[in-house]
Amino acid sequence: MENQPGIGIAIARGLFGLVALIAIAFLSSKRRKNINWRLVLSGVGMQLILALLIFKVPGFDLVFEWLANGFTKLLSFTDEGARFIFGNWPENAWISASEKDNAPLWQIGYIFAFKVLPTIVFFSALTSLLYYLGILQKIVYGFAWILSKTMRLSGAESLAAAANVFVGQTEAPLVVKPYIKNMTKSEILCLMTGGMATIAGGVFAAFIGMLGGSDIALQQEFAKHLLTASVLSAPAAIVFAKMLLPETEKVDQKLEIDESKIGDGPLESISIGTTEGIKLAVNVGGMILVFLAFIAMINFGLADVIGEYTGLNKWVSRVSNGQYDTFSLQMILGYLFAPVAWIIGVGADDIVIAGQLLGEKTVINEFVAYISLSDISGPNSTLSHRTIVIMTYALCGFSNFASIGIQIGGIGTIAPNQRPVLARLGMRALLGGTLACLMTAAVAGLFYAS
């Protein structure tokens, strides 16, 4: 069911979303009088200019398409290694876009276990090698230089924000490892928010496989959207971090990236990256297993016990016009987060399902949310393509409750003296990262009118 708005309405809804999200950050700020509005305007302006170039300027988007095609090609390299370990894929194991709606669970599980998770391992090893060769640092430095000059950030937080575009929330702090122990509270929050608002390269590749399936064209489309989301969310994360906790201390604006290597040689760096990738893949697989099991257990209590014996199941089906058959966690999250979905530009017909996805991402994690998006975004989906695109951007970040513990443990290991600060700022970082992802989605909806 397509419910695409006109260009004027899309622009108005997008601008309203930007204003509403900034207003939320302002009301949640700890030091409203110290907010640097020049920085806020610079960050929002950078987002809008980048989005305009990517979505509307012919030729500029070719760079992102080229990068997206490169990521898609890298997925095929992963298949070669996975095929050697797990054997040739059965012909009936692949899921095309047209078959996604009717695919049995064993097919989805097969693809996730033997196609999606291996990409995490390969990309972790590749990132480690690029870091050893110094290539990744140069890319990060270039992006950090732009952030530093346009938004006048400290050198350390510029580098960390740039690194978060390419690596995860526990790897990015390594780029500024020597500086973390002396960072101000505002710099720490900026570091944490940047990690919450973006995703790592390994899961980036995994999401492409999940959303695109075996359709190369869809893989390339989602790769472009996910790459764009990571880039656009960097300035958004800075904006909200600096609004929630403005800087009041003098900071060092010198850009000096940590030149330490991962391993003593290219082979050792690949080995280290592979080991870390295996840990991450196993962690992701186990996390998905456990969270989906808990959702099933909760839904059993809500639907089969409460809903069945109180008549709530029939009421929910009637009130939701068939969107939900039973009283469930997904239904609760959908209606709870529906207003947020409307704020970022999702059409009225889709806001409950979009709200469910936002709730799953925040309360559980982005993997579960993307699995749900993949399940409901097939050819027979009731969601408009514009809503699917907006939600691809909104879910592209690590902003969930579990990430607070991950950051306290990861960054706290690098700088133990900052652990109390990390713990106190955890909820603010979650709020900032969530607002950043939502702003990126609103900007995408502003330009993506069809």
For the chain, give the mean pLDDT: 82
> Which is more confidently placed, 426 or 157?
426
1 pLDDT more than 50: no
CB 144, CB 255: distance < 8 Å: yes
Which pLDDT tens digit goes with each residue over 49-81? 988 888 888 777 777 778 777 777 777 787 777
User: Rounded CA gap, 135 and 8, in Å?
Assistant: 42
Question: Which backbone phi and psi does 136 adopt, to 5 degrees?
Answer: -65, -40
Which pLDDT tens digit goes with each residue over 29-56? 988 999 999 999 999 998 999 888 888 8
User: Rounded CA gap, 201 and 16, in Å?
Assistant: 31
Other C-beta atoms lying within 10 Å of the C-beta of residue 107: 17
Give residue 106's pLDDT: 46
Q: Read off the tokens for 42.
A: 């610079």
Q: How much is the average pLDDT of 402-424? A: 86
User: Rounded CA gap, 65 and 43, in Å?
Assistant: 24
148 pLDDT more than 70: yes
3-state secondary structure 372-431: HHHHHCCCCCCCCHHHHHHHHHHCCCCCCHHHHHHHHHHHHHHCHHHHHHHHHHHHHHHH
Q: What are the helix (H) ranges across 245-364?
A: 266-299, 308-310, 312-319, 329-343, 351-359
Q: How far is CA 318 from each of CA 212, 314, 325, 347, rounded to the nearest angstrom?
A: 33, 6, 9, 21
CB 178, CB 258: distance < 8 Å: yes
Write down the pTM of the prediction: 0.83
Q: How much is the average pLDDT of 238-259? A: 79
CB 330, CB 292: distance < 8 Å: no
User: Worst-scoring range by mean pLDDT, 86-100, 111-125, 150-164, 377-391?
Assistant: 86-100
Sole residue written with tokens 């990132």: 127
Give residue 371's pLDDT: 84
Q: Which of 168, 189, 293, 196 is nearest to 241 (CA)?
A: 189
CB 335, CB 352: distance < 8 Å: yes
Give residue 93's pLDDT: 47
Sole residue written with tokens 């064993």: 106
